[in-house]
Structure 1
Amino acid sequence: MKFRDGMWLAAEGKRLEYAEEVYSTTRLEESRGLRLLCPTKKIMQRADTLNLSTLTIDIETPFDGVLSIETTHWLGALNPGPHFDLFPAGKPSTRHTSITKSPKSMTISSGSISATVKTVDHDFDIRFHATDGSKELTSLLNRSIGLAYGPAPSNPMQTADMRNLHHYIFTQTTLSVGESVHGLGERFGAFNKVGQAITLWNADGGTSSDQAYKNVPLWISSRGYGIFIDTPDKVELEIGSERCCRVQTSVEGQRLKWYIIHGPTPKEILYKYSILTGKPGKVPSWSFGLWLSTSFTTNYDEKTVNSFLEGMKARDIPVEVFHFDCFWLKAFHWCDFVFDSEMFPDPKAQITRLKESGLVKKVCVWINPYLGQVSPVFEIAASKGYLLKRKNGDVFQWDLWQTGMGIVDFTNPEAVEWYVGCLKELFDKGVDCIKTDFGERIPSEDVQWHDSSLDPRKMHNYYAFLYNKIVYEALQERFGENEAVLFARTATAGTQRFPLQWGGDCESTPEAMAESVRGGISLGLCGFSYWSVDIGGFEGYPPPWIYKRWVAFGLLCSHSRLHGSNSFRVPWTVDEDDTSDQGCSKILSTWTLLKARLMPYIFAQAQESANLGIPLSLRAMCFEFPEDSTSWFLDRQFMFGSNLLVAPVFEESGNVEFYLPAGKWTNFFTNETKSGPGWFKETHEFDTLPLYVRENSILVLGKEGETRTVYDYARDVEVRLYCVRKGAKATVVGSEGKEIGVLEVGEDGEVGKQEFLGGEWSVTCLPARDHLSDYVLGAWKNFSLTSPKSDELKLCHLLGAFDRVVQRCYSTGNQVNCNPMAYHIPLRMSSKRRNSPYFIT
């Protein structure tokens, strides 16, 4: 919301009052904080203290590296819930706090971050900076904190009746030259939010609008700090869009609280944010496999489902989870949890047959938190008070989405118990996971929640948290703490605790695929580890080329699901069953099997991501390379974990341009290397894309031809070394998520402590061709040696005007041919221990 008409005038119908100076300061001993009394005019004499507003600003130290700032006009105003569930794992102790005073200022410090408040000269000036003085982060300066009325009262007597007045609190933090702003939930517009006006209000707007399903009041700055706005209420932000040099945050009410979180890196910011709002839950290994959906409005029954899965198996496309979308329920009955008896006369038996066939391991069904009045269940739920009501006592209903639809009131404990009971009946039928759709269009006017103490406007966004929490915890109760999986569309702060989320309704276009990338990386910067997308696009009929490009992108998201609206997403329906190597079926098989092979890497990275509260995929480039200013503007590529760079292809031709940060990068498919920083152009068929491995990486991969998602991630694996140096590490975890061991490169360039690897494991060293000068190639060409050693022969450390080269040759049988010119041929050390001589040419 804009409160000004340019720099000089108030907006029409608005009255503004600003904190003009810090009149007095008081220490808050219990919270180790500081309270500032800030009048809305400069106090030059005693008479100036009369007939004016004051703003109270509390700066507190919740834990090291974080400060909270709460601005209040009238302290006596109620602060009704709901409130975000902060510190769910407990509040950490605050060890490094202090308040110091100088003749002109006071400084409050919380670990690595401090705020310095000017206390002289009738100025309003608060600077947030690194405690060590190395960097100023942002500041609150003249006309940066205030209150506003709308419509503008002509005298203070009118504020005696506030029923027809809107009252706002706003703050404006400064934007430095070149500073960029990111996050604020799953947003599909420009990745850098500077210049945008954003309203944090959950809405079902698709992926091609400024609305968002997942509004999260957290943004991260390229200057090394983040700001979390501590309210589920509607928040409006003007990010360099009212004043070009400031981020304005406003909320209707008497108070506004936010936390400033010092990094300096995005990884450190999100870790501290996860202490505030909770860490992402861990998901089971099977959830990373391919999910196949019936699609939305398509007709299907048991025969249809089986035909899909049999067709996928025949085409070497393993499916881990089959999803029954809306029409497992009877039309007009959504969502009463009752299978449509005409289409599914015995759902439990059907699901049992489906799993026993071996075509799929898990089953998911679609639900929402609404109830259509046509269902007989509606009358029961309404009579028992399970549905949201209007202020006059009527059940709140509208005909949006479902005829006479009511909304489950999750503030009523009995409604929650009933809803969980319905979920348990699904689990009894063999359902393993739940797609929690909707939860965005929650009314905020003329409604009365069962818990009447709650603010209906705050409940609009917070409903997403309650809805997903209830379903997730029901899954945990049935299947185990780390075995619960949602497929959720709506979210707010804290909902990362209930994974996973998907991007909502996108069109079947390359533009929508790019929108989805932006949405995924933005949500990741708000602490969500897992994210998925409707492969092929939800709306419309994807042409084969878009489907195949989307398959490549979708299988490199943390989770991968084929889903559409009014058309199926099995590949043979997209391209008339093209059986060629570049047909949809073969391409889907290729990428599904690649993800299966990557599972030892993916699942280990998933554990780390959840522990740190950071994204697995899609991970914004700036997350891994915050010192590279270009990385803060990259919105068409991302990192999958810390070691893999992914650049989706958006052109039918296969042309793609992408950026590599500083260092050596190895093409996963060809083993060619490129050196960054720099922009590169490539052309790809449908079975590859720019997938680059970061230097100093150890990748643990499943064996060639691996088709399973869940297997022993320490057995029969290939350990790939990419331009490694001493200290390079890779953690190996089991399919249950427990650490098995750590591979680490030692002083000699070798991987030590391999005893926990089993079966026919191997180590592959991938030398980089651009490290080798003609001199080195010549030396290798003329070198030959035969040795009886049985384990390893370390050849040559050649030094010159070129990079140091270390080439290792390992025995996998009776002989090894080592030729650095054939750099793309893997050279391996096998777990086989044979007393066979090396023959090296």
Structure 2
Amino acid sequence: MIINTELENKGNLFPGKINSFSQDVDKIYFKTENGVILQVTVIRGSVIRFRYATDNNFENDFSYAISEDGVRGYSKLEVEEHDTCYKIITIKVIIQIDKESLKTSIYDIHGNVICKDDWGFHWEQSYEYGGNIVKMSKSAPQGECYYGLGDKPMHLNLKGKRIENWATDQYAFGKDQDPLYKSVPFYLGMYEERAYGIFFDNTFKTFFDFCHERRNVTSFWAHGGEMNYYFFYGPDMQEVITKYTDLTGKPELPPLWALGYHQCKWSYYPEAKVKEVTSKFRELRIPCDGIYLDIDYMDGFRCFTWNKEYFPDPKRMVAELAEDGFKTIVIIDPGIKIDDDYWVYNEAMENDYFCKRADGPYMRGKVWPGECFFPDFTNPKVRTWWAGLFKELIDEIGVKGVWNDMNEPAVMEVPGKTFPNDVRHNYDGNHCSHRKAHNIYGTQMARATYEGVKKYAYPKRPFIITRSAYSGAQRFTSSWTGDNIATWEHLWIANIQAQRMSMSGMSFTGSDIGGFAEHPTGELYARWIQLGVFHPFCRTHSSGDHGNQEPWTFGEEVIDVTRKYVELRYQLLPYLYTMFWEYAEFGIPMLKPLVLFDQHDPQTHYRTDEFVFGNQILVCPIQEPNAKGRRMYIPRGHWYNYWTREYVTGGLEKWVDADLDIIPIFIKEGAIIPKYPVQQYVGEKTIDELKLEVYFKLGEKEVSKVYEDAQDGYDYTKGRYSLRTFTFTGKENEVIIQQHVDGTFVTEYETMEFEIIGLPFEIKEVEIDNVDIDLKKVLSKTKPNTLIIPKNFTEIHIEG
């Protein structure tokens, strides 16, 4: 056995020489003389699983994170034995395993090193808990960059950082504070513009060190469980993310209203206050779809009850709100009040559904209702029971969405803010302590909630939001970034967190607009709403103890800014819905940091502020007070300033003017951006015409898509959708727009309005599907360079 003496002194153990090798279809096993087994599973040609056992023994192979629907299979798998190593060869990568040390090196098919072990797998025994602390270290070449890992409130590039994953209720967290609410043990590495990913599927407390302790080493380790990680090769960064998202699961489409604007506060009560807030939105003509009820709607904070003093007839209230276009979302926490007169408590006690301590008694902790017990959501029977509890809320009262909070799980007035380590969990038959179940507790609660809401909302789609999450939670729920603060620094943090969550497979995320703790200035709120409308989940939320945080509390100027940007979000709903369809169908991140948009441009590798919304809209928030503009980096290519329609060349920094009512927005040349008319809520208006803003591009083709369906329900899964693919080709005196339509859904509108921006010639001739058209019939009389075209064309020729 080869052992580094310095490491041995620290208690680390290492694999010995390989003494046997075997293969079982897609699984290749390497056993060492000291009882270590490496199982390499080829899932796809560029997705490889590495799993290590010590003492010749693997644990039961079970994961909450891995989706059953992910792609499996490969076109090539060869194993070669050489003098000093084994080689596993797929169509994308070559994995070399050293016979002396079990260290692995991964190369692309051209022989370039993608990722190689430094110390490789090693471990030490955990004398406190039993089992092993399992560790992995990789060589980190100079210049390698690292991204991902969920909601970390720090620079987008993690080089030089040490990270901890332990879901934690961090009220009013700060920049660089760690850990936070989520545990997403997936990161991307990129070196010489080749990207790879590693997902360390271990739910114990995990750590990642990106050249923090040792300059040329990246390492990750866990306080229990197995060394079990998945490797993804790009080389494009987006391919890495889509493969990871495919493995851990893609979401279903949300109802379109869930992509509208939401208003929340701790707390809106009584009913008269809720009606006052919703009426004010309609009076001021600020679109809004979601209104939230925080814990005060309950009877003594007991989940699945109503305070009849505040809300005497919730079914009537919810119905009246719905008539005005508002969908009601209610909070549900995991803590169940210990109360013999409380039906939920009694049902759980009768069925033994609460978590227990190691020596027998139920896990007792203080949360909002006072002393509580907590359901064990890792027990499938408990999840089924919990799902059934939503019948009254969803099916009878008409609530449209559920918000899971405090599910890290959070416990008040105890040093660790959560359950003790000795709490026991079912873990779907793999019984374990809270050390293993802690990081997935919130996800399993969200899963049970999702299953209940989905069952009782049917045939409509469910909407769930969670604070705590582990990898794979995106299958069930959206999320928000937790209890932030009304500061300019937190505006910067919110921007980073949303981008990082998108890179981590959880695109349907937003922040509490304006900040949860403390009170924003009107200027800060205005700048935050400008950013928030470009996040997939868009909600203002505040703690309420500092005053109100509705848009109208900041004065007329901020009302106008809020209206302008919320209206813009509603206009862009077909664009946003198409982004979500690409995310749900292919796992494509909805927000793209500049490094994800163009990893081959070294200028993007450390940018934090700018991001691409979808595929074609560049956004850069103003993040300082009293700013009249800012310097920002424009990615390579050519872009149009959305506000001025100025045509700019990318690949450089540029000063952009931005008074309080402006956030810098640029549109990629060649893009075709769909827009709906402004609505006060989704479904208020019939869409009589689809507006398409076309940004002229000379030369190479540009493809844009528009996905539409019934905006709710499941007919889209049976082919009842409309996917329009537009191809734009621009020449000096000619424009060609081609359209291909998939799906059987028939849209309400019959015509499309094409406004061509930056057109370098005057329109003299229009031909639709090889037929010359009288200009008077298609040319707008009020807008220059604008054509009204029947929706079902195949090709438009426009000539000057």
Q: 1:338 aligns with which of 282, 305, 319?
A: 305
Aligned AA for 2:596? F
Distance change in 2, residues 1:494/1:165 (3 Å):
closer
Q: 2:199 aligns with which of 228, 231, 235?
A: 228
Distance change in 2, residues 1:664/1:407 (3 Å):
same
Aligned AA for 1:396? M
Contact 2:390 2:456 in 1 (8 A): no
Distance 1:751 1:250 in 2: 53
Match of 2:76 in 1: 96
Match of 2:599 in 1: 626
Match of 2:237 in 1: 266
| 2:14 matches 1:14 | no
Which stretch has the larger CA shift, 749-758 or 99-108?
A: 749-758
Structure 1: where are the runs of 5+ without partners? 40-52, 151-161, 773-779, 795-808, 818-824, 834-839
Distance 1:202 1:624 in 2: 30
Q: 1:75-86 alignment to 2 at 5 Å?
A: 75-76=56-57, 79=59, 83-86=63-66
Q: 2:209 aligns with which of 230, 238, 256?
A: 238
Contact 1:280 1:527 in 2 (8 A): no
Distance 1:527 1:718 in 2: 29
| 2:798 matches 1:831 | no
Match of 1:806 in 2: none
Distance 1:513 1:83 in 2: 35
Aligned AA for 2:149? L
| 2:81 matches 1:144 | no
Distance change in 2, residues 1:515/1:832 (3 Å):
closer
Shift, 1:561, TM fit = 0.9
Distance change in 2, residues 1:372/1:681 (3 Å):
farther
Distance change in 2, residues 1:752/1:144 (3 Å):
closer
Match of 1:447 in 2: 423
| 2:398 matches 1:433 | no
Match of 2:134 in 1: 169
Shift, 1:365, TM fit = 0.6
Match of 1:591 in 2: 565
Distance change in 2, residues 1:481/1:815 (3 Å):
closer
Which stretch has the larger CA shift, 644-653 or 439-448?
A: 439-448
Q: 1:761 aligns with which of 752, 758, 764?
A: 752
Contact 1:666 1:722 in 2 (8 A): no
Contact 2:779 2:785 in 1 (8 A): no
Q: 2:549 aligns with which of 566, 569, 572?
A: 569
1:222-265 deviation per Cα after TM superposition (whole angstroms, max 9, x unaligned): 23100011222221222212222111111234631111110111
Q: Secondary structure at the match of 2:152?
A: coil
Q: 1:523-602 alignment to 2 at 5 Å?
A: 523-566=501-544, 567-573=547-553, 575=554, 578-579=555-556, 583-602=557-576
Shift, 1:392, TM fit = 2.8
In the alignment of these two chains, the number of paired residues is 748
Distance 2:377 2:521 in 1: 42
Shift, 1:364, TM fit = 0.7
Distance 1:185 1:454 in 2: 27
Q: 1:215 aligns with which of 183, 193, 202?
A: 183
| 2:431 matches 1:473 | no
Contact 1:371 1:405 in 2 (8 A): yes
Distance change in 2, residues 1:646/1:714 (3 Å):
farther
Q: 1:732 aligns with which of 692, 706, 716?
A: 706
Aligned AA for 2:37? T
Q: What's the % identity of the aligned pairs?
A: 20
Aligned AA for 2:63? H
Shift, 1:714, TM fit = 8.1
Q: Secondary structure at the match of 1:662?
A: coil
Q: 1:497 aligns with which of 444, 463, 475?
A: 475
1:152-179 deviation per Cα after TM superposition (whole angstroms, max 9, x unaligned): xxxxxxxxxx566673221101111111
| 2:97 matches 1:117 | yes
Q: 1:56 aligns with which of 33, 37, 40?
A: 37
Distance 1:814 1:268 in 2: 42
Match of 2:650 in 1: 676
Contact 2:204 2:224 in 1 (8 A): no
Distance change in 2, residues 1:450/1:767 (3 Å):
closer
| 2:736 matches 1:750 | yes
Larger Rg: 1
Distance change in 2, residues 1:598/1:163 (3 Å):
closer
TM-score by length of 2: 0.87
Shift, 1:509, TM fit = 0.7
Contact 2:301 2:368 in 1 (8 A): no
Shift, 1:316, TM fit = 1.2
Match of 2:391 in 1: 424
Distance 1:88 1:80 in 2: 17
Distance 1:593 1:815 in 2: 24
Q: Secondary structure at the match of 2:278?
A: helix
Q: Secondary structure at the match of 2:463?
A: coil
Shift, 1:144, TM fit = 2.9
Match of 1:305 in 2: 274
Match of 1:43 in 2: none
Distance 1:95 1:376 in 2: 61
Distance 2:780 2:439 in 1: 65
Aligned AA for 1:351? V
Distance change in 2, residues 1:760/1:126 (3 Å):
closer
Match of 1:805 in 2: none
Match of 1:44 in 2: none
Q: 2:620 aligns with which of 647, 655, 661?
A: 647
Shift, 1:651, TM fit = 1.7
Shift, 1:148, TM fit = 2.0
Distance 1:267 1:74 in 2: 38
| 2:633 matches 1:638 | no
Shift, 1:527, TM fit = 0.9
Distance change in 2, residues 1:653/1:397 (3 Å):
same
Distance 2:637 2:779 in 1: 36
1:717-742 deviation per Cα after TM superposition (whole angstroms, max 9, x unaligned): 23423426453222222243622432
Distance 2:699 2:404 in 1: 45
Distance 2:352 2:672 in 1: 57
Q: 2:293 aligns with which of 299, 324, 329?
A: 324
Distance 1:480 1:132 in 2: 51
Match of 1:45 in 2: none
TM-score by length of 1: 0.83
Q: Secondary structure at the match of 2:262?
A: strand
Aligned AA for 1:762? E
Aligned AA for 2:151? E
Q: 1:253-292 alignment to 2 at 5 Å?
A: 253=224, 255-292=226-263
Distance change in 2, residues 1:334/1:413 (3 Å):
farther
Distance 2:351 2:276 in 1: 42
Contact 1:548 1:584 in 2 (8 A): yes
Structure 2: where are the runs of 5+ without partners? 410-417, 711-715, 792-798
Distance 1:448 1:832 in 2: 63
Distance 1:444 1:276 in 2: 31
Distance change in 2, residues 1:482/1:300 (3 Å):
closer
Aligned AA for 2:468? T
Distance 1:112 1:495 in 2: 29
Match of 1:776 in 2: none
Q: 2:143 aligns with which of 158, 171, 178?
A: 178
Distance 1:233 1:66 in 2: 23
Across the aligned residues of Structure 1 and Structure 2, the Cα RMSD in angstroms comes to: 3.1
Shift, 1:321, TM fit = 1.4
Match of 2:26 in 1: 31
Distance change in 2, residues 1:814/1:243 (3 Å):
closer
Distance change in 2, residues 1:458/1:586 (3 Å):
same
